[in-house]
Amino acid sequence: MEEHKVLTRPSLRERGWILSYLRDETVGGVLLIVAAAIALIWVNSPWGDGYVSLVNYEVGIPFLGINLTLNAWAADALLAIFFFVVGLELKHELIVGSLSKPSQAAVPAVAALGGMIVPAGLYLAINSSMEGGSTTGWGIPMATDIAFALAVLAVFGRKLPVALRAFLLTLAVVDDLGAIAVIAIFYSDKFSLPWFIAALVTFVAYALAQKFRWTSPWFYVPIALIAWYFTYKSGVHATVAGVVLGLLTRVKTDPGEAESPADRLAHRVHPISAGIAVPIFAFMAAGVDLRSIGIVDALTAPVALGVLVGLVIGKPLGVLLFAWVTATFTRATLAKGIAWRDVGAIGILAGIGFTVALLIAELGYKGDYETLESAKGAILAASLVAAVLAAVALTMRGKHYGRLAATEDIDANNDGIPDVYQDTRDVDFDGTTETSDPPQR
């Protein structure tokens, strides 16, 4: 088996797509943190009962048989928008992005798998061995919150190479796919086959419309809403509809087409997801009421310890271990200028599990208020600890990343294209050069 490099510089087109996507997520991450902070402060203030009343206020659509609290609307409806964007991102990565080439996809994909298996395993080990433990929430520490992570990067990792940003994005997207599979299989209830078949029919209709190149929003918006409703009624969590529709969207361009439908939709829907849907959900879900149970009791419960250990220790351990083992067995080496300590830093950053972790906690412990509050409190605490540790790790490599950025971002002729993509000699991360074919723009 030939040796090959992983975590190499992405193509110019892919670089533009990644940076554009991450800019929206960074803004969304800041809004998410602000929304969560407001909720946490409000619920633990003298006016906390008002917050509790707000999130539990019921809004129904009687003729459709839907009657949900505002919190449930945020989890079932707004997060469907978030997962639609996840589906679009995953489709992009699988067809034209970092997961499209098996040799390049193996390390980040298996690393993401390790970042799910190890935290879940640690959670199960802790909760099955401690008195009062509950294994129901084993899926909580599996997810990575890309928006929150990028908010940390915006402050402490501004010079992080695009290759490492792409690695973080791949981890988060694969994590989200794993999380939605876990939600669909283990956290859905009252399955109804007729409604599920009806949902499948809407998915087929959407796929056929993509195949025959229909473009009218007058078709796609209603079919998406109907698909969401049928999925909700089937007992499968309604957010699954978002992922499926995203995966069914065409990502390759036709001749003469500047952007594929998937990229066009990502540009239009992603700001709505990152700037509105996810922050509102964070506001509704992050209000951990510590007035009655206390912060110490909340964070020392077995469920909380499982979440804390899973995210803070399990995530980086799983990501780094599985990535290293995969690289060893596939004879892969890291691109010049990137070390395993950088992969470890990304693993620490991936321990920020917020949005999807809160969703799984809501689904797993919706009938157990005290355990739910402990789980949510641990998610907030673990995400904060992971953010601080990642900030330290990134700061320690700040000068090195600065030197890499000087190579990666320099644009001496001011044409908007980094010079490394125009030089027929491929300037690597450490400043050395290798002869390569002219870049394809």
Q: In 3D, which of 323, 398, 355 has the Cα closest to residue 171?
A: 323
Q: How many residues does the chain have?
A: 441
Q: Which residues have CB under 8 Å from 192's CB, separation 6+? A: 233, 234, 235
pLDDT, residue 423, reads 63
Q: What is the pLDDT of residues 279-327, one digit of tens each?
A: 999 999 998 887 767 777 778 899 999 999 999 999 999 999 999 999 9
Taking residues 356-384, what's their average pLDDT? 90
pLDDT, residue 76, reads 93
Question: Does residue 1 carry a pLDDT above 80?
Answer: no
C-alpha–C-alpha distance, residues 92 and 383, integer Å: 28
Whether 124 and 134 have beta carbons less than 8 Å apart is answered as: no
Whether 166 and 18 have beta carbons less than 8 Å apart is answered as: yes
Q: Looking up tokens 């001749």, which residue turns up?
A: 255
C-alpha–C-alpha distance, residues 28 and 23, integer Å: 9
Confidence band, pLDDT 50/70/90 cuts, at residue 84: very high
pLDDT, residue 428, reads 46
C-alpha–C-alpha distance, residues 261 and 87, integer Å: 13
In sequence order, what are the beta bridge partners of 59? 68
**CATH number corresponding to 4-188+237-386:** 1.20.1530.10
pLDDT, residue 436, reads 38
Which percentage of the chain shows pLDDT scores above 90?
Answer: 54
Q: What is the pLDDT of residues 397-419, one digit of tens each?
A: 988 888 887 777 776 677 667 76
425-427 and 58-61: which strand pairing? unpaired
Q: What is the pLDDT of residues 19-61, one digit of tens each?
A: 887 877 888 889 999 999 999 999 999 999 999 999 999 999 9
Whether 289 and 40 have beta carbons less than 8 Å apart is answered as: no
Task: Give, for 434, the enclosing helix (H) or strand (E).
Answer: strand 433-435
Distance of CA 412 to the CA centre of its chain: 35
C-alpha–C-alpha distance, residues 131 and 59, integer Å: 39
Question: Does residue 173 carry a pLDDT above 90?
Answer: no
Whether 66 and 60 have beta carbons less than 8 Å apart is answered as: yes
Residue 57 DSSP one-character state: -
Question: Does residue 364 carry a pLDDT above 60?
Answer: yes
Going from N- to C-terminal start, the domains of the chain cover: 4-188+237-386
7: left (phi over 0), alpha (psi -120 to 50) or beta: left
C-alpha–C-alpha distance, residues 168 and 240, integer Å: 23
pLDDT, residue 437, reads 38
Phi then psi dihedrals of residue 255, to 5 deg: -55, 130
Question: Does residue 2 carry a pLDDT above 70?
Answer: no
Confidence band, pLDDT 50/70/90 cuts, at residue 73: very high
Which 3 state secondary structure label does DSSP give 339?
coil
Q: What is the pLDDT of residues 237-287, one digit of tens each?
A: 999 999 999 999 999 999 888 889 998 999 899 999 999 999 999 999 998
In sequence order, what are the beta bridge partners of 67? 60
Q: Report the sign of the C-alpha dihedral through residues 252, 248, 363, 275, in that order.
A: positive
Question: Does residue 378 carry a pLDDT above 70?
Answer: yes
Question: Does residue 393 carry a pLDDT above 50?
Answer: yes
Residue 78 DSSP one-character state: I
Taking residues 428-436, what's their average pLDDT? 41
